Amino acid sequence: MTIQPRHPHLLKLVDPPILVGHRCITCERIAFPPDPYGCEKCGSPASNFEKWDLQARGSVQAVATVHRHHRPTPPTPFTVGVIELVEGPVVKAIVEGDGVVVGSSVEGFLAPEEPDDAGNVIVDLRFRVTR
């Protein structure tokens, strides 16, 4: 059996999980996901980027509950949050638990899917409310 992140270039399988972004060496802007074209702030080329580990912690900036969607997983209803990470970048992700509101503090965790026929497990990053 193997465990793999759905997006291996964006996520490290550690506890707590780490997102892989980049930091512009010129202006120190931190971004996620990494931008292959250049810095949105100062215009530096992507060659001026360094990999940057981001904590999977932050606060909810917006929230919505999904009642219908075009895929069988995750089962509805589920909550999607716009999360400002502690280092600054903003991500959208599923937030589990009751009481998800704007301003909630959240932390990331690895959510496994059911193993396939070969026993391989794909994991995704999700968030849960911490307070």
| pLDDT tens for each residue of 36-66 | 999 999 999 999 999 999 999 999 999 999 9
Q: Give how far Cα 84 sits from Cα of 11, 45, 102, Å.
A: 17, 25, 11
DSSP state of 11: E
Residue 128 reports pLDDT greater than 90: yes
pLDDT given at position 2: 86
Q: What is the pTM of this model?
A: 0.88
CA distance linking residue 71 with residue 33, whole number of Å:
24
In the predicted model, is pLDDT for residue 117 greater than 90?
no
Question: How does residue 115 score in pLDDT terms, banded at 50, 70 and 90?
Answer: confident
User: What is the separation, in whole angstroms, between the first and last Cα of the chain?
Assistant: 35
Longest dimension (CA), the chain: 48
Mean pLDDT of 12-26: 95
100, two tokens: 């998800």
Q: How far is CA 16 from CA 37, 45, 78, 126, in A?
A: 29, 31, 22, 11
